[in-house]
Chain A
Amino acid sequence: MVALDVSRIAKRYGPVQAVDSISFQVHAGEVVGLLGPNGAGKSTTLRLIAGLVHPDAGTVRLAGHDVQHARQAALAAAGFLIESPALPGELTASGALAWVAWLGGHAVQAARQREVLAQVGLTEVAQRRVRQLSLGMKQRLAIGAALLGRPSLLVLDEPLNGLDPPGVRDMGTLLQELARQGTALLVSSHLLDEVERTASRVLVMARGRVVAEEAVDAAHTGALRELFFSVTQLESA
Chain B
Amino acid sequence: MKGLLGAYRAEWLRLATGRSVWLLPLAAVLAAAYATSLGVAADRGLFGAPNGFYLAAAGATGAAITSAAVGALLAASAVGADFASGVARTALCRPVRRTAWWAARLLALSSGLGLALLAACLGALLAGYLRFGLDAATEGSYVLAARGLLLREFAVAVALCLLGQGVAVAAGGLLGLASGRPGPAVASTALLGAGLLALGRWPALEPWLPTTFLTTGLDRVAQLAQGLASLHATDVAPRALLVFALWLGGVLAAGALVLGRKDIAS
Residue ranges of A at the interface with B (Cβ–Cβ < 8 Å)? 47, 50-54, 71-76, 80, 82-84, 86-91, 95, 98-107, 142, 145
Contact = CB atoms under 8 A, between A and B. Distances in A.
5 contacts: A90-B17, A95-B13, A102-B6, A102-B10, A105-B96
Given A53-B264, A95-B13, A105-B2, A100 B94 contact: yes
Contacts of A107: 9
Contacts of A100: 10, 90, 94
Contacts of B261: 54
B23 to A, nearest CB: 14
B14 A88 contact: yes
Given A54-B261, A102-B7, A102-B9, A90 B94 contact: no
Given A102-B7, A102-B9, A102-B13, A88 B87 contact: yes
Given A82-B89, A86-B90, A104 B17 contact: no
Nearest to B96: A103
Interface of B: 2-3, 6-7, 9-10, 13-14, 17, 85-87, 89-97, 101, 261, 263-266
Contacts of A91: 13-14
Nearest to B101: A103
A99 B17 contact: no
Contact of A104 (B13, B14, B94): B94
Given A99-B14, A100-B10, 9 more contacts: A51-B92, A71-B97, A73-B95, A83-B86, A102-B9, A102-B13, A103-B101, A106-B6, A107-B9
Contacts of A86: 85-87, 89-90
Nearest to B88: A86
B94 A53 contact: no
A183 B97 CA distance: 25
B124 to A, nearest CB: 30
Contacts of A104: 6, 94-96
A47 B264 contact: yes
A47 B263 CA distance: 9
Contacts of B94: 75, 100, 103-104
Among A47, A51, A105, A142: residue with most chain B CB under 10 A? A105
B225 to A, nearest CB: 41
A142 B3 contact: no
A72 B3 contact: yes
Contacts of A74: 95
Contacts of B86: 83-84, 86
A87 B10 CA distance: 12
Contacts of B7: 102-103
A222 B87 CA distance: 37
